Amino acid sequence: MPDASRPLRKLGFLTIGLFDPADPGAGHESTLQVIELGERLGFDSAWLRHRHLQYGISSPVAVLAAASQRTSRIELGTAVTPLGWENPLRLAEDLATVDVLLGGRLNPGISVGPPMHWDRVRDAVYPDTADVEDFTYRRVERLLGFLRGEPATTFAGTEGIEVFSDRVEPHSPGLAARTWYGGASLRSAQWAGEHEMNFLTSSVVKAEESTDFEQVQLSHVRTFRAHHPAGEQARVSQGLVVIPTDGASADQRAKYEQYAQSRLARTAEPQGPARMMFAPDIVGTSEQIAERLHAHAAFREVDEVAFALPFSFAHDDYVQILNDMAMHLGPALGWSPTA
């Protein structure tokens, strides 16, 4: 069991916001309503995941701009924005704009690497520069520099009636310090720590030194903090798929259990050339889930979570799950809702 002096401090949730391609507005509205519900229930954060060329949110920053006008307290983030699809300067402008609208509540989560299905999308994303694009950590450094207000151009001043700045505008102080790196490898964990970022670790890791998911994730958390100037105080958020059933109907419980069972086989061994390991989804009462998390090697090292909502459920399912998280699971983990 974890030391009682380290209760869960921050409780968040993550969604990809699925929609019907014939009626995309309804799905986006559902996502906004889920974020509003999270604020009412006292969650500390809500996170959106990108889904490019799929029927999920392709522009989380735009959705978060809408959410800025419907919330007042809850922190909002991206988990994560793959920078391979983005121009760092333009993304910095969008992030800073939304952070200003949110009053400093934005938590951008980012990662690097070529876009998914690179060979199929490269000509659409970078028709003229695909062979020279830099998808390394340098792309993160560029984004962080722009967010910090470092010069983006050699010119500032007045030209005719136009006034120009040499940095990204609007500038939102503190935004760079609220930026997270979503990492699944030891190298990423170390790099994020050395560059004083926050660290997001999810239900997917690379099986580098072990095939035990918990031990791999634990090594990432410890490696990150070992290389971060803040040490044990450096922020880490864990994102597992947990589905509490306290308030679920019999039909919902059956659906949740079937969902988890259908995804269980992939957790048995590393998947694909990258040897990706997946954590099993955790379904049960809040008491049962809390017991499993208390025994989870990596969970015992963190005091922040952003539990991932299942991708294909109905709006009413998310309402039930979030209510159970806030009213039962969170308190069972030592968390208290924010008023």
For the chain, list the domains and their CATH numbers: 10-332 (3.20.20.30)
Q: Can you list the residues of the chain whose pLDDT is less than 50?
A: 1-4
Taking CA atoms, 199 is separated from 26, 115, 334, 336, in Å, by: 32, 21, 22, 23
Q: What is the pLDDT of residue 325?
A: 98
Q: Give residue 275's region: left, alpha or beta (phi > 0; psi -120 to 50).
A: left
Return the number of other C-beta atoms located less than 10 Å from residue 116's C-beta. Answer: 15
The predicted model scores a pTM of 0.96
List all residues 6 or more positions away from 14 whose beta carbon is below 8 Å from its beta carbon: 46, 47, 48, 49, 79, 239, 306, 307, 308, 309
- How many Å apart are CA 245 and CA 254, to the nearest integer? 10
Strand, helix or coil for residue 81: strand
- pLDDT tens-place string over residues 123-147: 999 999 999 999 999 999 999 999 9
- How many Å apart are CA 64 and CA 181, to the nearest integer? 19
Which residue in 120, 109, 44, 62 sits closest to 82, CA to CA? 109
Could you tell me what percentage of the chain is helix, strand and coil, using 3-state DSSP and rounding each to the nearest 5? 40, 20, 40
List all residues 6 or more positions away from 47 whose beta carbon is below 8 Å from its beta carbon: 12, 13, 14, 15, 76, 77, 78, 79, 107, 109, 239, 306
Q: What is the pLDDT of residue 2?
A: 39
Tokens of 100: 């200003």
Q: What is the pLDDT of residue 338?
A: 86
List all residues 6 or more positions away from 65 whose beta carbon is below 8 Å from its beta carbon: 97, 98, 101
Tokens of 256: 């949740």
Q: How far is CA 262 from the centre of its chain?
A: 24
Sequential DSSP letters for 84-139? GGS-HHHHHHHHHHHHHHHTS-EEEEEE-SSPTTHHHHHHHH-TTTTTT---STHH
Q: What is the pLDDT of residue 1?
A: 35
Q: Give residue 45's region: left, alpha or beta (phi > 0; psi -120 to 50).
A: beta
Strand, helix or coil for residue 306: strand
Q: What is the pLDDT of residue 226?
A: 98
Q: How far is CA 134 from the centre of its chain?
A: 23
Peptide bond into 229 cis (omega under 30): no
CA 260, 63, 91, 77 dihedral sign is negative
- How many Å apart are CA 12 and CA 62, to the nearest integer? 20
